[in-house]
Chain A
Amino acid sequence: MTLNPMITLKIDGVQISVPEGTTILKAAKDNGILIPTLCDLEGLTPYGGCRLCLVEVTGSPKLFPACITPASPGMEVTTNSDRLKDYRRTAVQMLMAERVHICAVCVANDHCELQALANQLGVDHVALERNFTREQIDSSHDFLVIDRNRCILCTRCIRICDQIEGVHTLDLKLRSKNTEVIMDLDESWGNSCSCTSCRKCAKVCPVGAIYIEGEPITQTKNRDVAEFITARRNRK
C-alpha cells in the first residue's frame, strides 16, 4: 500500500500537514478545527449540497465547499470569518424557510442537527418568508415514516441506501425547490420492492424527516453508522 505524499497548508493560521487528496474539511477536522456541515457524513461520499462548510481561500474571491475541495500545498484557508458566519446564518435560514420546521412539535426536537446548528450560529429568527409546504406524509411502511416537509435534501439517506446498504431504494425527483426524496420509481414506501427496512436512512437523517414510528429519536439516530460499517468492511 502506497501512502499519498504529504502536503502542507494553513488553516486559520495554523500550519497543517495532510496526505495529498485530503479535503479541506477532513484536514481541518483531523487537526481539531470544526467546520459546520449538514450533508457531509463520515463513511459516505461527499455531496456538497448544504453549503454550510464554505470556506475562504486566500487569493480567490470565491468561496469553496470544504467537503469537496482538496487541500493543496501552500493553501491558506479561513474557516470562520464574519463573512462566513453571515453566509452560514443565511444558509440555515434558507433551509428553515424552504419547508416546514416547527421544532416544538417535531419528533427530532432537541436531537436535530439543523436546530443545533441554528443555535450554534445564533439563528433565533428566520428573516425570510417561510414557504409552508403541505407535502403528504408517507407512513405506508410498517415503521419507517417520511415527512418531506422537514427534508433539507442533504441526500444522506440516499447515499447510505446506495453506498452502504447497496439497494438504492431512495433517490431524488424534480429540481430546485420541488426536489423530493422518492422510493423506487416514486412508489409509496409501503409498496417499495427494494427497501430492506434496514433503518439506516432514519439513523442518519439530520432532521426529523425520516424517523421510526413510536421509537424515541435518541434510540434511532446514529450518525456514526456509515463510518462504522465502512471501517468493518475494510478490516482485513
Chain B
Amino acid sequence: MDKTFEKKIVISPVTRIEGHAQVNILLNSDDTVKEAQFKVVDFRGFEKFTEGRPYYEMPSITSRSCGICPVSHLLASAKACDAIVGVTPPKTAIMLRHLMHMGQLIQSHALNFFHLSSPDLLLGFDSDPVSRNIFGLIEKQPDIALQGIKLRRFGQELIEKVAGKRIHSSDWIQPGGVKWPLTLERVDYLRNELPEALEITQNTLAKFKQMLDGFGDEVENFGNFPSYYMGLVNPDGGLEHYDGKLRIVDKDGNIAAECVDPLRYQEFIGEAVEPYTFMKFPYFKAIGYPEGAYRVGPLARLNVASHCGTPLADEEFKEFKKLGKNGVVQSTFHYHYARLIETLFCIETAKKLLEDPEILSEHVTSRAMVNNYEGVGVAEAPRGTLIHHYKVDPQGRITWNNMIIATEHNNIAYNMAVTQVAKKYVKTQQLQEGMLNRVEAVIRAFDPCLSCATHAVGQMALDIKLFDSNGNLLDRQIR
C-alpha cells in the first residue's frame, strides 16, 4: 500500500451491495483526498478446493459462490463442461438455458435497481440512513417498491419454471444440455406474466429518464472517466448474454479486440494483484496494467454492442447512445440506465423464446464423455463477463480451475471511481454521512457481487474512521 498518505478514512463494510467490502480513503496533509481504495475482504478459495472433483460437479459447486447470480455461474460452468465433452447441446437446451438466463438478469437487475440503489435515487443521497433502504422506500413510495418486488419475482419465477428452483437449480443443468424439458403449462404461465413485467420496466424507465436531469452532478462525478469496455456480442455485433464473441472497445467506441474462441481469452486479459485486497485486477493485455482498465456489465455491454435486437430495447438504446461521444457512455452513474434497458431487452427476449414452438421440444440432452482436457465457458452475468476455465485429467477430474468473476473485471474502475467521488464529495473538515454514502453509491452503481450474501435490508453497520498520520483516531461515525 502507498505509505505516503497522511490520514485514512475507512468505510467498512460498504452497505447495500452483495458481499463484504470496505473503502479506504487516504488523505494528504492538507486533508484533501489523495486516493481511495476499494478493498474486498472476502476469501472463498473455490479455485483450490474444486481440484480433484469431477468436471460435471462444477456447475453445482461453483454456482454456490453466489446466491444472487447462481444461474450465470451455472451457465459459464456448463459451457466450460460442454467444451470438455466437446458437444454442442441440442437447440432447445440452448434456448432453455438462454431463457433461464433472462430470468436471472431480470431478477438481479430489479434487485439492484429497486432494492439496493433506488433508496439513494428516490429518497436522496443525504436522506436519513435509518430509512434509506427498501423499507424506507416501501413507506415513502409503496407503489414503486411493490413494482420492484413484482419485477424481481417475475425473474425468479422464470428461473423456477424453467429449471425447478429459484436459487441453485443445479440439478437441472448438465454438460451437453439440461436434464428436463419445459412443459406447455409452464410456458403458458410465463406468457401470462410477461405483460406486467414489461409494463413495470417501461414505467420505471420513463420515470428514471425524467429524473436524470436532477442528477447532473452525480452523472458528472460518479466514475465518469474514459476506459475500455468489454462484453459479449452476437455475430451481428448485437447485445448478447449467453454466447458469442468477446469484444473490447476503446473510449471512442473503436473495436480494440475481438476474441471469438473463448479458450484464447488469456491472450486479451491479464490479471494483476495488489497487496491490499483479495480481488485480482484484470486488465486489457494489449495496453498493460493499470492503463488497460476496462469496465464490464450493463453499461459496457451497451457500449460494445451495435444494437439490442428487440424493438422496444432498440428504441431506448438509440436514445441512450446519444448521452455519449461516439455512442460511448462513460459515466458509471449510467449503469442504472443501462440496467433498465437491459431488463427491457431480457423481457422481450424471454417473450420471443417463449413464443418459439421449439422451446417445448423434449430433446434437451447430448451425452458424451471427456474428449478435451480443457474447457472455457463465457457468459454475461448481470454484472458483466463471467469466465470459467477448467483443466481436467483423462478421468475428468479437475486439475486446474480459473474463474474470472464479472465483478473482478471492474476492479481497476472501482478504484478510479471511488477516488473520483471521494475527491469531489469528501470534505474532511466536516465529515458527513451523506458524503460517504456517495462513495458507497458509486460502488452500488456497478452492482458488485462480492460473495453469495446480500446485506440489503436491516440496520447496517457502517463504521467510518478518520485517522491522522500517527494512527490517532480523529473522528468516527457509526450507524
Residues in chain A within 8 A of chain B (CB atoms)? 104-105, 107, 109-110, 134, 136-140, 142, 145, 147, 213-214, 216
Inter-chain contact A137/B53, CB cutoff 8 Å: yes
**Can you list 11 A-B contacts (CB < 8 A)?**
A104-B64, A105-B64, A105-B170, A137-B53, A139-B54, A139-B396, A139-B397, A142-B369, A147-B54, A213-B369, A214-B174
Partner of A105, one of B52, B60, B396: B60
Residues of the B chain whose Cβ atoms lie less than 8 Å from the Cβ of A138: 395
- By a CB distance below 8 angstroms, the chain B residues around A110 are 171
Residue ID in chain A nearest B175 by CB atoms: A214
For residue B70, give the distance in angstroms from its CB to the closest CB of chain A: 11
Q: Contact: B52 with A137, CB < 8 Å?
A: yes
Contacts of B369 in A (CB 8 A): 142, 213
- The 3 A-B pairs at the shortest CB distance, nearest first, are namely A139-B395, A105-B60, A105-B61
Contacts of A140 in B (CB 8 A): 395
A216's contact among B60, B179, B395, B396, by CB below 8 Å, is which? B179
Given contacts A105-B60, A105-B61, A214-B56, contact A137 B397 (CB under 8 A): yes
Contact of A213 with B61 at beta-carbon distance under 8 Å, contacts A104-B168, A109-B171 already known: no
Give A89 Cβ to nearest chain B Cβ, in Å. Answer: 27
Task: Known A105-B170, A139-B395; judge A134-B52 contact (CB<8 A).
Answer: yes
CB neighbours (8 Å) of A104 from chain B are: 60, 64, 168
Partner of A136, one of B52, B56, B60, B168: B52
Shortest Cβ gap from B388 to chain A (Å): 15
- Interface bits B189-214 vs A (CB < 8 Å: 1, else 0): 00000000000000000000000000
Residues B126-162 near A (CB distance < 8 A): none
- With the chains together, A228 CA to B351 CA distance in Å? 50
A145 in complex: contacting residue of B54, B60, B174, B367, CB < 8 Å? B54
Please determine whether A214 and B61 come into contact, CB atoms closer than 8 angstroms: no
B57 near A: Cβ within 8 Å? yes
- Judging by beta carbons under 8 Å apart, are A137 and B54 in contact? yes
The B interface, classified by DSSP as helix, strand, loop or mixed, is loop
Interface pair B57/A105, CB less than 8 Å apart: yes
- What are the residues of chain A within 8 A of B54 when measuring CB–CB? 137, 139, 145, 147, 213
Q: What's the minimum C-beta distance from A110 to chain B, rounded to whole angstroms?
A: 8
**Residue numbers in B under 8 Å from A214 (CB-CB):** 56, 174, 367
| B44-74 contacts to A (CB < 8 Å) | 52-54, 56-57, 60-61, 64
- Contacts of B60 on A, CB cut-off 8 Å? 104-105
We find that the number of chain B residues with CB closer than 8 angstroms to chain A is 18
Q: Which A residue sits closest to B179, measured CB to CB?
A: A216
A107 to chain B, nearest CB (A): 8
Chain A minimum-CB-distance residue to B397: A137
CA A213 to CA B179, docked complex, whole Å: 13
Interface centre among A105, A136, A138, A216 (most CB of B within 10 A): A105
Q: Give, as a whole number of angstroms, the nearest-CB distance from A2 to chain B.
A: 52
Chain B CB count within 10 A is highest, among A110, A213, A214, for: A214
Chain A residues lying within 8 Å of B367, measured Cβ to Cβ, are 214
Residues on A with C-beta less than 8 A from B396 are 139, 213
CA distance A4 to B250 in the complex (A): 89
- The interface residues of chain A lying within 8 Å CB-to-CB of B64 are 104-105
B157-186 CB contact bits vs A (8 Å, 1 = yes)? 000000000001011001000010000000
How far apart sit A235 and B382, CA to CA, in the bound complex (Å)?
62
Looking at the assembled complex, report how far the CB atom of A188 sits from the nearest CB atom of chain B, in whole angstroms.
9
CB distance from B170 to the nearest CB of A (A): 7
A137 → B minimal CB distance (Å)? 6
Partner of A213 from B52, B53, B56, B170 at Cβ < 8 Å: B56
Chain A residue contacts of B171, Cβ below 8 A? 109-110
A176 to B64, CA, bound (A): 33
Q: State the Cβ distance, B336 to closest chain A Cβ, in Å.
A: 34
Distance from A220 Cβ to chain B, minimum over Cβ atoms (Å): 14
CA distance A134 to B52 in the complex (A): 8
A161–B174 Cα distance when bound, in Å, is: 30
Question: Cα distance A208–B341 when bound, in Å?
Answer: 44
- Report B-chain residues with C-beta under 8 Å of the C-beta of A147: 54
Give the residue name and chain of the B residue nearest to A140 (CB).
B395
Bound complex: CA A178 to CA B63 (Å):
32
New contact pairs (16) apart from A105-B57, A140-B395, CB-CB < 8 Å: A105-B64, A105-B170, A110-B171, A137-B54, A137-B395, A137-B397, A138-B395, A139-B395, A139-B396, A139-B397, A213-B54, A213-B56, A213-B369, A213-B396, A214-B367, A216-B179
| Chain A residues in 8 Å Cβ range of B179 | 216
On chain A, the residues within 8 Å of B168 by CB distance are 104
CB B50 to nearest CB in A, in angstroms, measures: 10
Q: How far is the CA of A109 from the CA of B168 in the complex (A)?
A: 13
Residue of A nearest to B396 (CB): A139
CA distance A134 to B369 in the complex (A): 24
In the complex, what residue of chain A is closest to B394 when comparing beta carbons? Answer: A140
What chain A residues lie within 8 Å of B170 (beta carbons)? 105
Q: How far is the CA of A139 from the CA of B64 in the complex (A)?
A: 24
A136 to B54, CA, bound (A): 10
Least CB distance from A212 to B in Å reads 12
- Find the A residue at minimum CB distance from B170: A105
Residues of chain B with a CB closer than 8 A to A213's CB: 54, 56, 369, 396
